[in-house]
Amino acid sequence: MPPSAPANRRSHDAHGPVRRRPGRHDARGDRRGRGARVTLTVLEPATEAVLAELPRAGSDDADAAVARAKAAYPAWRAVAPPDRARLLYGLADALAERQEELAVLEARNAGKPIGDARGEMGMVADVFRYYAGGVERNLGDTIPVSGGVAMTFREPLGVVALITPWNFPLAIASWKMGPALAAGNTVVLKPAELTPLTALKLERIGIEAGLPEGVLNVVAGPGSVCGQRLVEHPDVAKIAFTGSTEVGRGIAAGAAATIKRVTLELGGKSANVVFADADLEAAAAAAPGAVFGNAGQDCCARSRILVERPALDEFMAALQPRVEAIAVGDPLAETTEMGPLISAGQRENVASFVSEDAPVAIRGSAPKGPGYWFPPTVLAPVGNDERPAREEIFGPVACVIPFDGEEEAVRLANETIYGLSGSVWTRDGARALRVARAIDTGVISINSNTSVRVATPFGGFKQSGIGRELGPDALDHYTELKNVYYATEGS
Ligand code: NDP
């Protein structure tokens, strides 16, 4: 039986209940440009009800945010490292104190299970704590040269613009903001219009935690207006972006006009490679979470499950009950494992990959009624060149692709424009490492499907992006390397 749709919850904006219901499923406000003062309507994907109505930022607001960040930059970069670290530790503590409030808001706005939202908000606090520790480890080198001393410094860039998506709204914002602020930059964050609420709350929490005015600015407006203005703006030194490969391509091209630095975290079509000698029970138990987590709206989703042919039947038999048992429903219910998709448009796009004649091998359940629901779906067998195996679906649809032997596994895994994450399941340790090295991807796990940790680098090969987030290296992406030569024996 399909789980029931969430009971009609009351809708609130930041200050109280709102009454309006949208005319369209994913009403996003009207697209006006410069100086527009229109309303941005934020929906709750599990109910389609209005969650908040806000002023919708235009390009004048983006300009004003950049001006505030520019004005705040000289003083922020001059804050003594231990003091800047203390401010970021304070922000981390304030976020940890507000974890539940932020998690409920994120769960409602993004439609994600409350347990997942709590984990993400915990990570947000951890990210700021980790990079607070990095402020005083922003080290340079001394280099042996003749006639004096050469030394390097990592200098901040200035104003950094962060453009973020709706799938992990505050978590992804923190991955960029933590190292950017720690390195001494000021930031302007443009969250996705579908999910701006936790970012706006973060801006207020930042002020309350003592960040100086203008250091952390949020503009909630459309990408094609506010985002684009930030990309063009001559006072923005860098764009850090997460989103679709298509928009990322445009951002890279736009940033070229002013030689802005860019970090791009883009799409993925990652392979979960299961060899016949693997612990098939463990691989089948872990596979659903790796593709249906966040309703499949995850750039790391292992949406191509490559299974060695002799193990195919056993793997599918072990997979089926697990997919069918996924609890899809109200994001705020403690037992929910998968929520709705973000919008009607996203559901339409996902559905286009499951045509009438699609080889649906396993189908889970989803609530009926309001909400952008889509059941967990496994297509099998699928050819690696077919559309569901080629394109990022960004929904709960997995493709099972059979293969014969190690060489074919690596070839199929690499036959994609993407290279973000992936997994290898085998009991043969040497092969695990060989295959992990041979797959062109930024992050890969052996006998596990995890990708993201605060302390390890994350990012893509090929059209999955440029640059790395998280881990110790992220600080380098928010600084310029300067060499200073000090003559000690004449000039
Ligand atoms: P987009 O790439 O359009 O959006 C990501 C961010 O970029 C949002 O803040 C968006 O603003 C902004 N943006 C959009 N256009 C521009 C522009 N011209 N200049 C500057 N910023 C811009 O993703 P979508 O939301 O449209 O999702 C579409 C598909 O992208 C998904 O189905 C999925 O395949 C992929 N995707 C991948 C993500 C990832 O984690 N790698 C995350 C999200 C999506 P706004 O939305 O407010 O207009």
* R_g of the chain, CA atoms, integer Å: 23
Q: Within 6 Å (CB) of ligand 1, which residues are found?
A: 163-167, 190, 192-193, 222-224, 227-228, 231, 242-244, 247, 250-251, 265-267, 299, 392, 394
Distance 393 CA to ligand 1 centre (A): 14
Q: Which residues of 174-196 are buried (b: 16+ CB within 10 A; e: fewer)?
A: bbbbbbbbbbbbbbbbbbbbbbb
| Residue spans of the chain under pLDDT 50 | 1-5, 7-8, 10-36
Is the CB of residue 249 less than 8 Å from the CB of residue 241?
no
Q: Which atom of ligand 1 is nearest to the CA of 342?
A: 25
Any catalytic annotation for residue 299? yes
Q: Which of the listed residues 61, 112, 190, 244 should we mutate to test ligand 1's pocket, taking the one with most ligand atoms within 8 A of CB?
A: 244
Q: In the numeric block, which tokens belong to residue 177?
A: 């903001």
Distance 416 CA to ligand 1 centre (A): 20
pLDDT tens sequence across 244-291: 999 999 999 999 999 999 999 999 999 999 999 999 999 999 999 999
Q: Which atom of ligand 1 is nearest to the CA of 230?
A: 20
Q: Which atom of ligand 1 is nearest to the CA of 298?
A: 40
Q: Tokens 């962060």 belong to which residue?
A: 162
The protein residue with its alpha carbon nearest to ligand 1, atom 32, reads 394
> Which of 299, 300, 337, 392 is flagged as catalytic?
299
Any catalytic annotation for residue 176? yes
Any catalytic annotation for residue 406? no
Who's near 149: CB < 8 A, 6+ residues apart?
142, 485, 486, 488
Cβ-based neighbour number of residue 413 at 10 Å: 28
- Confidence at residue 24, expressed as pLDDT on a 0 to 100 scale: 32
The protein residue with its alpha carbon nearest to ligand 1, atom 30, reads 244
- For the chain, the 3-state helix, strand and coil shares in percent, each to the nearest 5, are 40, 20, 40
Q: Which of the listed residues 200, 226, 247, 416 should we mutate to test ligand 1's pocket, taking the one with most ligand atoms within 8 A of CB?
A: 247
- Confidence at residue 29, expressed as pLDDT on a 0 to 100 scale: 46
- Confidence at residue 104, expressed as pLDDT on a 0 to 100 scale: 98
Q: Which atom of ligand 1 is nearest to the CA of 193?
A: 47
Collapsing DSSP to helix, strand or coil, 315 comes out as helix
- Confidence at residue 491, expressed as pLDDT on a 0 to 100 scale: 75
Is the CB of residue 162 less than 8 Å from the CB of residue 191?
no
pLDDT tens sequence across 104-132: 999 999 999 999 999 999 999 999 999 99
The protein residue with its alpha carbon nearest to ligand 1, atom 26, reads 244
Any catalytic annotation for residue 265? yes
pLDDT tens sequence across 68-81: 999 999 999 999 99
First-to-last CA distance in the chain?
82
Q: Is the pTM of this model over 0.85?
A: yes
